[in-house]
Structure 1
């Protein structure tokens, strides 16, 4: 299969050179919005020429965006000078996102092309069109690859089956599970559908479900996208991790901080989007993933991530007090010899208990008890563990209590 464009097969040197050209322009443009002007106050745009340089800038969180929108509706002052949009969407929260009718505004065409969708296909788009942007995101991608669209939306499964049969839709876009609902209902009605490809998102694609679709002759690939950022990463037919989209810069950082973690370590996904209509710089998604070494066998050369590995917001109430990832990060920062730390919440009898595991070459747990109390505001047992032995799962707070 040919690639979507030449960007997908750039050399590492060319990609770095392009980023060194584009990032300073993006930062300077982002600083024309009132909100980003505050977030990036004092930042010399010309100096931000790489992902490593981005790591020195503050992280923007969903909570920051929501608070700004409440103070300055509807977009919180994040629209840059000359920024334009054609739609405003509402996601749960509520929080508002914008969208554009320009060519592949959310960059979803790259993913649909990787799925083999193109001219001659009719896409049954089962993402919602009401208030939230998913339906428009995938429709925009279908237009970018020259496919026609049945804007099916969600629900009304009997009508979905009838339309798929009558129109002859060849590709499915929607959540992974809903395709099975449609296929099973078609079987019950004695109808045969013509789906050969499925581009899914918005939920986990379990291996057993992918195999079931493959047994029906449907190639099913998944993407990782958000309403704020559009497409972030996507699978190709190689199905070895998810390839980063060419319109974003992705960092994996230690939860509660903006500090990048080493290659392969699980952390929070932080994204800078190169969309000049709505440039979000270091936007923390709250999702966990990890960068993968090497390149995809499909020939695309960008970095890959392992996919969605859970949520980074691990805030947990222990003994009536909230313990947050930011506090764990502060504790680690106080001790140069500490590589990582992990707070574990358990129950002892009918009481909450807290243990703090500390990766250190020190041998005396008492060295850290004062910092634990001062930073976490709780007394807890300190266990020293050998550096490199804490699980690589992105967790800095683990709740082992059972509820039920």
Structure 2
């Protein structure tokens, strides 16, 4: 919820982080799943720079750990500390609690203007996956009444919204339009004037259509593992990072932070003591939005969801992954970055690897590195420093799959 935390000075936030982060690292080290952190001196991890030296944890690591050591792979507190356990595709299991705004969605709902006196029609799913319970927990935290609608049965939902005096919609961006159109067809008036959305793209045209109906629509970026990561305020300038997480933007396939404003993969460290995920790679792309929000909240902002960082491509029958591209760059000290572009040449795949360097070596050296690390032959192109796009892509698949 809106609190003094959201309006701290940069210095105050850094001082609080210097206390909270070492404690969280120590909690993670006490859990059997975090063997990769065993040799880390937790007391020395007091800021983002020190955090960036730690290994990245990926969802595939959690899936493997849960299969080897069910139920939660040794990355969370014992199961009896939680009120719920959810299942997402993978399958992967996520723990949670209904009390105490455990997922921190209350802060987002408060930014939407939701509070006591509001009735929230929660159209996120309640079965197995956690989104419904995440928003339920947030609505409880701000004192709102919840209509647990879930998905489907549109006419029943519309009639319930009209009869119960629903003021707030929570769900995916597009399903609200389905409800509004059904209400129009039934001749029913809905009193919804606020919408808290997530789980899909909120296109500007859709937000404008809601605004024309008197509905203020804001979105958040949240995941089942991490809870709320970032959220919009009425200023609608980027998304403000939640106070319960630390967000880094890194080069896909690595843990190396990119310069401010450059697109990269979102890596999150949560300060949740029950589920201390350290440098958890979301697989999503975003970028830091410089400056502070006009609404007065002072935390870092990101530009929102900008695509997927998992750019794995199958080329000539072989998978090429961002981690391999990062390994290629690391093996060539004079190369700053690389970009793999995949096209079709006749009936065969063609791979070009652009290498950004000021002091190139012989092409044969680079071709040998491609064969050694990417396990493929390809064309090498030398790019001058700064020539490659800063769009977060390290593998650009330009093949036309519909032609």
Same fold (TM over 0.5): yes
- Cα pair 2:79 2:95 within 8 Å, conserved: no
- Could you tell me whether the CA contact under 8 Å between 1:248 and 1:273 is conserved in 2? yes
Answering whether residue 300 of structure 2 is matched by residue 303 of structure 1, we say: yes
Deviation (angstroms), 1:116: 0.6
For residues 345-398 of structure 1, the C-alpha deviation after alignment (integer angstroms, 9 at most, x for no partner) is: 111111111000111123554442221221111111111112212122111001
Q: Deviations over 1:299-319 (max 9, x none)?
A: 000000010011111111111
What is residue 32 of structure 2 aligned with on the other side?
34
Q: In the aligned structure 2, how far is the partner of 1:91 from the partner of 1:365? A: 46
Q: Distance in 2 between matches of 1:247 and 1:160?
A: 33
Cα RMSD of the aligned pairs, angstroms, is: 1.3
Structure 2: distance between partners of 1:63 and 1:361: 36
Match of 2:235 in 1: 238
Question: Are 1:74 and 2:66 matched, yes or no?
Answer: no
> Which residue does 2:399 correspond to in 1?
401
Matched, 1:153 2:143: no
Measured after TM superposition, the shift of residue 39 of structure 1 is 2.1
Paired residue secondary structure (1:191):
coil
Contact 1:176–1:201 (Cα < 8 Å) also in 2: yes
Cα distance in structure 1, aligned partners of 2:98 and 2:106: 13
Q: Displacement of 1:102 after TM fit?
A: 2.7
Tell me how far apart the structure 1 counterparts of residues 76 and 327 of structure 2 sit (CA, whole Å): 32
Deviation at 1:83, TM superposition (A): 7.8
Residue 29 of structure 1 contacts residue 80 of structure 1 at CA under 8 Å; is this kept in 2?
A: no
Deviation string, structure 1 residues 150-205 (Cα, Å, up to 9, x no partner): 11111100001000110010000000010000000001111111110100000010
- For residues 166 and 260 of structure 2, the distance between their equivalents in structure 1, rounded to whole angstroms, comes to 41
Measured in 1, the distance between the counterparts of 2:80 and 2:277 equals 12
For 1:376, the equivalent position in structure 2 comes to 374
Cα distance in structure 2, aligned partners of 1:382 and 1:247: 44
Structure 1: tracts of 5 or more residues without a match = none
Establish whether residue 130 from structure 1 lines up as the match of residue 147 from structure 2.
no
Tell me the CA shift for residue 144 of structure 1.
1.1
2 CA distance for matches of 1:106 and 1:80? 16
2:173 aligns with: 176
Of residues 187-196 and 333-342 in structure 1, the stretch that sits farther from structure 2 once superposed is 333-342
1:392 counterpart SS class = coil
- Partner in structure 2 of residue 85 of structure 1: 82
8 Å CA contact retained: 2:343, 2:349: yes
Q: TM-score, normalised by structure 1?
A: 0.97
Question: Contact between 2:249 and 2:258, CA under 8 Å: does it hold in 1?
Answer: yes
1:44 aligns with 2:25: no
Aligned mate of 1:7, from 5, 8, 12 = 5
Does residue 189 of the first structure (1) align with residue 173 of the second (2)?
no
Count of residue correspondences: 401
Q: What corresponds to 2:258 in structure 1?
A: 261
- Identify which range, 381-390 or 113-122, moves more after superposition: 381-390
Residue number in structure 1 paired with 2:325: 328
Aligned mate of 1:228, from 206, 225, 229: 225
- How does the TM-score come out when normalised to structure 2? 0.97
Counterpart of 1:21 (choices 11, 19, 22) is: 19
- State the match for 1:286 in structure 2: 283
Is the Cα–Cα contact under 8 Å of residues 31 and 80 in structure 1 kept in the other structure?
no
CA contact (8 A) 1:314 1:397 kept: yes
Runs of 4+ in structure 1 displaced over 3 angstroms? 80-83, 362-367
Which residue is equivalent to 1:200?
197
Cα distance in 2, alignment partners of residues 355 and 389 from structure 1: 15
**CA distance in 1 between partners of 2:20 and 2:327 (Å):** 33
* Aligned partners of 1:263 and 1:293 also within 8 Å: yes
State the Cα deviation string for residues 204-244 of structure 1 (Å, max 9, x = none).
Answer: 10011000000110000000000000000000011110000
* Whole-Å separation in 1 of the counterparts to 2:391 and 2:278: 25
Structure 2 regions of 5+ residues with no counterpart?
none
Q: State the secondary structure of the residue aligned to 1:345.
A: strand
